[in-house]
Structure 1
């Protein structure tokens, strides 16, 4: 089984989120690749090479997507990812209230349009992973693996 974890980060918090997800994949013997989302063209993601796709965007300001992920996000509307299991987890700041980590929700909606299959409920992380969110991220990753095995 092969997974790709695509992340965007400024502060390093989201790379920490990605690393937690990767730890669980590795513990479950899933071959995993970690990539900066700005270096990935969604047209190059193929079901025969990727079983699980995880997107780890941060949310800043009042619900804005990461600048370095905008091209990827927009290109998803023209990509067919049928057969790929996906999940989204990312950081935000609860200070922004209703806009807290909404990039997770926006990416889930966009990925559903590609024909990809949502394999786990998105995880919203306040700033950086703490003990509780590390457990959530492990459960999220295990759910993705279980969805891909079916």
Structure 2
């Protein structure tokens, strides 16, 4: 069984919803899942206690990664492997160039083995299958 750590920052609840959909899929696959909602000043668990990290963030302003996510990355102090990144965003603010830009930046920083999952606002409806498929692809990269 793989121990999975899902850390996420959520402002509107959309990224939290994606995190829990990911967790459901991982649990169905027989993995152990722990969640951590990133808050300013909160000490994160030690990622070295886990086999895999899933990291989620909303995108702030003009494509920025939220400060609490930057603090989380700094608090960890190293780059665990592997890290799979997911994000939520809204194309009406900045179009495709800024859509889920924080997730793109984080995936690049962590040299993620998979493209980041990008969800338009809420994962409900047709995007739920997109989340499930992304998790299945991620699992195939890290059995």
The answer to whether the 8 A contact 2:6-2:55 is kept is: yes
Q: How many residues are matched?
A: 138
Report if aligned partners of 2:7, 2:35 keep a CA contact under 8 Å in 1.
yes
Offset from partner CA, 1:70-110 (integer Å, 9 cap, x none):
2123456x5142xx222111101101211111011110111
Q: Please, what TM-score do these two structures have when normalized by structure 2?
A: 0.86
Which ranges of structure 2 fall in alignment gaps of 5 or more residues? none
Aligned-residue offset at 1:12: 0.6
Cα separation, 2, equivalents of 1:85 and 1:67: 22
Structure 1 stretches lacking a partner, 5+ long: 113-117
- Report what 1:18 is aligned to: 19
Name 1:125's counterpart in structure 2.
119
Structure 1 counterpart of 2:47, from 33, 45, 48: 45
TM-score w.r.t. the length of structure 1 is 0.82
For the 8 Å contact 1:51–1:148, the answer to whether it is kept is: no
Looking at structure 2, the residues matched to 90 and 80 of structure 1 have their Cα atoms a distance apart, in angstroms, of: 19
Higher relative helix content: 1
**Structure 1 stretches (4+) deviating beyond 6 angstroms?**
none
